[in-house]
Amino acid sequence: MIEVKKVSKKYGRKKILDGVSFTANKGEVTCLIGINGVGKTTTLKAIMGLTPYKGEILINGQTMTKDSYEKITFIPDAPTMLPQMTVKQAMVFMKDFYHSWNQERALQLLEFFKLKEESRISELSKGNTAKLNLMLGLSLDVDYVLMDEPFSGIDIFSREQIANVFASHLIEDRGVIITTHEIGDIEHLIDKVILLDNGTVLKEFNTEEMREEEGKSVVDVMREVYQA
Amino acid sequence: MKRYLCSIIIGLVVLLSIGTYYVKVASSASGLPTFSFKTIEGSDKELDPVIVQATLENNNLYEPLTIESNMTTYGHDRSLWSDRNDVQIERLIKKHRSFMRGKDFIDSFYEDDDFLAYASVNNEYTKSGKMEAEFDIGVLEKKDEDETSFRIDFPHQERLMNMEVRDVQLIHSKLQVLTMNDVDSSDDKQTKEVHLYTIDLAKKKVVNDKTLVSETFTYPNQVDFEMPVNTAPSQPNNMILFSMIKGVNHEEGEYEEKLKESKLFSYQYDTEKLTTIKGDKKESLNLDIARSGYTDGKSLYAIDFTSGKYQLKTFDISSGALTNDIELNVAVGKEEANFVAIKNGRVYFLLGSGMGENLTYEPAQLLIADLKTGKTLYKGETIRHAADKKNEQKIGFIISTLEVI
Amino acid sequence: MMRYLKLVNFEINRFSKIYLTLLLITLLSQFAGVLIVTKSLLNDAKEIMLEEKLSEVAYLSEYGGIDFTHIANTLWFLGPIALSAVALIFYIFLIWYRDWFGKNTFIYRLLMLPTSRLSIYLSKATAIFLMVLGLIAWQMILLPLENALFHSSVPEAFLNMEMSTSSIAAANGILMLIIPSTFTQFLLSYGIGLMVMSILFTAIMFERSFRMKGILLGLLYGGVAAALFLTPVFIMASEIFHFYSNELFGLLLTLGIIVTGLSIWLGSWLLKNRVTV
């Protein structure tokens, strides 16, 4: 379980996060929703130890250490490998540094996304870059995967492909935290929704319960909350 | 492995190349010749206090070297972080490390059985261009290592621009500081003075400022004060010799001394008597002799070559009379560079600089003789031990100083 | 430890193209310099001999011959050294900033590696230091070769003297700076270099952590570190206290180690706890 407890973050005088608390479980897809600039990405960076914050974040009951990076991974919406590298070199790099690298699954994902090993990263399209990012992140045997806007600016076919990954065995029983401002493609995959606005959690709910008890979809709730 | 090739190559090249380079540097340094004295007569023991500083010119590199206790040490063998002081300062530092901090000019010291005293002048120019000067005084009571130091304003500093301490004596708890001063003047006239300041240590005050000699001149004339080499500058001396050399700068830039107008003075601290030494009697102390001589405060020793032999003449300073005349037992060729030290009741005489004609090596001769009897205690010459015969020809060697502990 | 070495290797490979170019420029420029300068010096000599109707012996006694110092003082020779120095100083900054800027944000990957941030900090420092030493080593290899080439292209009569590699290095101010004449001096010079680099790295970490405010903090830190290191020198200069050379050396060595250690600790602490991606 990832526990985010009263996390606050300021850039200069501007409060990005103001006492954000939520939990995300293994085996579930948790979605951080909010319009742009409400602190979704900052929350993920804080969990990954990529930015300082106030408050506490625990992963399986423990604070982040260097070894945690074998257990949790982050897939940002920009390439994290050098542009001059080929896909193969990027894979070798990952294998070199991570014990949790799963070469077999990497090859499966490569096949799944139809990426070529010899392609240079700088020459990949936006969609293929996102796929490569996803491939590199998902090939680690980690407990949690954090994804930042995996669908933004990507063509419809790539989106479909990425969405299919969520439904497949490639995600398995991992915990996923995903940020997005467009819920459409993956609404049916989401277990839990955290609605963020102005750096605070507006609403946190279980999608299934919401549907069963109140008969509302995620988009319905969003409309209620943001247009109020 | 291929991925690591670049780093491995760089690592290996760094280790091998830099390693080889410095191993070679070290071995070529150990390939330098060493120098020592070959005994011709007398006991090697006499060499113990002898320190000869020289320079080796090897392949366009100048390496300072020291022959001490008959062993050669090169400058590069000495650690980077050792002070290089003369032997007398070094001896004082060993005994009184704390007191000696920042004090390195031997003429500024006075030492007897009970006290070690120090006087120097600090001057600095303020932003407005004005000079501010003060005496820096230190006294160490040896028995209980009791240190007193203080600074006092230099008297009449507004009229001076440069002052140099040349002798310090402690007489009846008062420090006598002899300085040579340049007077600041706004016109063409220049004035040089010899002053004696009396400093009361208890009151921390300059109680007397006595001008011993003052001389004003205008360019192209020139006046300089000189003192004979003091063989024991820190020892208690009752007498001091100094000369005033007059000269003129010719238009072509040549400088000519006017010895007839120049003077030799002696000053006696206890009687406070300043005497001009005429030196008109035959075989008596005169300006010429004093300028080339070595003094210990009582006598003046001078090497004389006029008779075609090396002779050491001793003069009594107070009477000016020749009191001793010994012949030095060294082979006489042409008159060569020589180095003299008077110490331990002996005269140390080093003839030749190690460099002969055509820049080739030529042994320098060392003679150690009893100061009174002239008896030869040691005689020897430098000998070169070439570690690397191959480039022997290209190595130049020249002696620069002779020191005796 | 293995990951640290892998990171060092990775950093070196990243710079390898520019690095190889620097090595090549040095090689070509210096060798070309030996040939071109030697030829022009000899031509000048011939011209003067013709004009003034001097024999070779007369010319040499009047004007003197040539030696390697004539080569070592030219732009052909010193230019590539200066270029390499500037490139590596520049790379001290670039090695960090290139991970942050541009389309690809490699810093994400770097900071998410299952290795301590100290390793990341040290691997970058090691890479630069190793490359600096590599350039020095390269110059040490080239010098005797250039010297040999010079000898073979100058007629014996015109040669002032045969110089050894170490005397060439000692005769030129810039060469003496990069190739100190004893190993102890070498260790001290490059030790100071290491300290300066660690201070710069830490200043960069301040900037990366606190941005605009960090630039001020970085400059402040650099000033404080320099002041701390030079305290004994200031004390001596202001005549408050006099240190003997061995004491001064001991103090500077101790303070140097403290400043370097402090910089590395602070830099890697900032990278771990304060840096924002």
Could you tell me if C189 and C177 lie in one domain? no
The alpha carbon of residue A53 is apart from the nearest alpha carbon of chain C, in Å, by 9
Would you state the pLDDT for residue A71? 94
At residue A215, φ and ψ (nearest 5 deg) are 65, 30
Could you tell me if C170 and C77 lie in one domain? yes
Could you tell me if B215 and B230 lie in one domain? yes
Q: Do C114 and A66 touch (CB under 8 A)?
A: yes
| Percent of chain B predicted with pLDDT > 70 | 96
SS3 C92: helix
Domain that holds residue B112: 85-293
pLDDT value at B391 more than 60: no
Could you tell me if B71 and B124 lie in one domain? no
Q: Average pLDDT over chain A, rounded to whole?
A: 90
C-alpha C12/C-alpha C8 separation (Å) is: 6
Taking the model in full, what pTM does it have? Answer: 0.89
Q: Does C10 touch chain A (CB under 8 A)?
A: yes
Could you tell me if B185 and B267 lie in one domain? yes
Task: Pick the residue from chain C with its C-alpha nearest to B122.
Answer: C239
SS3 C136: helix
Would you state the pLDDT for residue B394? 64
Q: Do B83 and C13 touch (CB under 8 A)?
A: no
Closest CA to C108 of B253, B67, A79: A79
Name every residue whose Cβ is closer than 8 Å to that of residue B125 and which is 6 or more positions away in sequence: B131, B132
C-alpha C260/C-alpha B190 separation (Å) is: 55
pLDDT digits (tens, 9 = 90+) for C154-206: 988 888 877 888 888 888 889 999 999 889 999 999 999 999 999 999 999 99
pLDDT value at B348 more than 90: yes
For residues B82-98, average pLDDT: 87
Name every residue whose Cβ is closer than 8 Å to that of residue B87 and which is 6 or more positions away in sequence: B51, B403, B404, B405
pLDDT value at B78 more than 80: no
The alpha carbon of residue C102 is apart from the nearest alpha carbon of chain A, in Å, by 10
Q: Average pLDDT over chain C, rounded to whole?
A: 93
Name every residue whose Cβ is closer than 8 Å to that of residue A125 and which is 6 or more positions away in sequence: none
pLDDT digits (tens, 9 = 90+) for B31-44: 788 899 999 999 98
Confidence of residue A25 (pLDDT cuts 50, 70, 90): very high
For residues C200-222, average pLDDT: 96
Could you tell me if C240 and C117 lie in one domain? no
For residues A30-54, average pLDDT: 91
Q: Do A52 and C10 touch (CB under 8 A)?
A: no
Could you tell me if C176 and C215 lie in one domain? no
Could you tell me if B1 and B53 lie in one domain? no
C-alpha A221/C-alpha A194 separation (Å) is: 11
Q: Average pLDDT over chain B, rounded to whole?
A: 88
Could you tell me if B194 and B272 lie in one domain? yes
Could you tell me if B137 and B265 lie in one domain? yes
Partners of B246 in beta bridges? B223, B258
User: Which two structure tokens, joined as six digits, stand for B138?
Assistant: 């230190």
Domain that holds residue C191: 182-277
Q: Decide which of C6 and B59 is more confident.
A: C6
Could you tell me if B289 and B393 lie in one domain? no
Q: How many residues does chain B have?
A: 405
Q: Do C10 and A93 touch (CB under 8 A)?
A: yes
Q: Do C140 and B83 touch (CB under 8 A)?
A: no
- What order do you get walking across the sheet with B109-111 strand by strand? B109-111, B115-125, B131-141, B146-153
Q: List CB contacts (< 8 A) between C131 and chain B.
A: 10
Could you tell me if B265 and B287 lie in one domain? yes
Would you state the pLDDT for residue C12? 95
Q: If you average pLDDT over each of A22-36, A148-162, B332-346, which comes out highest?
A: A22-36
Would you state the pLDDT for residue A204? 92
Could you tell me if B161 and B211 lie in one domain? yes
C-alpha B77/C-alpha C193 separation (Å) is: 24
For residues A202-209, average pLDDT: 92
The total domain count for chain B is: 3
Q: B74-83, B337-346, B390-399, C68-77: which has the minimum mean pLDDT?
A: B390-399
Partners of A87 in beta bridges? none
Could you tell me if C2 and C100 lie in one domain? yes
pLDDT value at C82 more than 70: yes
The total domain count for chain C is: 2
Would you state the pLDDT for residue C74? 94
- Residue C188 amino acid letter: L
Residue that terminates a domain, selected from C130, C163, C181: C181
Q: Do B18 and C164 touch (CB under 8 A)?
A: no
> Is there a domain that residue B303 lies in?
no
The alpha carbon of residue B164 is apart from the nearest alpha carbon of chain C, in Å, by 19
Q: If you average pLDDT over each of B229-238, B364-373, C19-28, C54-63, which comes out highest?
A: C19-28
Could you tell me if C191 and C165 lie in one domain? no
Would you state the pLDDT for residue B60? 67
Cβ(B237)–Cβ(B167) below 8 Å: yes
For residues B209-223, average pLDDT: 93
Could you tell me if C148 and C43 lie in one domain? yes
pLDDT digits (tens, 9 = 90+) for A146-192: 999 888 878 888 888 888 887 787 777 899 999 987 787 788 889 99
Could you tell me if C224 and C131 lie in one domain? no
Could you tell me if C46 and C148 lie in one domain? yes
C-alpha C251/C-alpha C256 separation (Å) is: 8
For residues B74-102, average pLDDT: 85
Could you tell me if C166 and C192 lie in one domain? no
Could you tell me if C112 and C245 lie in one domain? no
At residue B348, φ and ψ (nearest 5 deg) are -105, 120
- Strand pairing report for B294-295 and B229-230: parallel
Confidence of residue C76 (pLDDT cuts 50, 70, 90): very high
- Domain boundaries A2-227, CATH class: alpha beta
Residue that terminates a domain, selected from B249, B267, B293: B293
Confidence of residue C63 (pLDDT cuts 50, 70, 90): confident
> Is there a domain that residue B298 lies in?
no
Q: Enumerate the domain spans of chain A.
A: 2-227
Could you tell me if C194 and C247 lie in one domain? yes
Does the bond joining B220 to the residue before it have cis omega, within 30 degrees of 0?
yes
Partners of B136 in beta bridges? B120, B151
Q: Does C101 touch chain A (CB under 8 A)?
A: no
Would you state the pLDDT for residue B264? 93
pLDDT value at B251 more than 90: no
Would you state the pLDDT for residue B85? 79
The alpha carbon of residue A210 is apart from the nearest alpha carbon of chain C, in Å, by 36
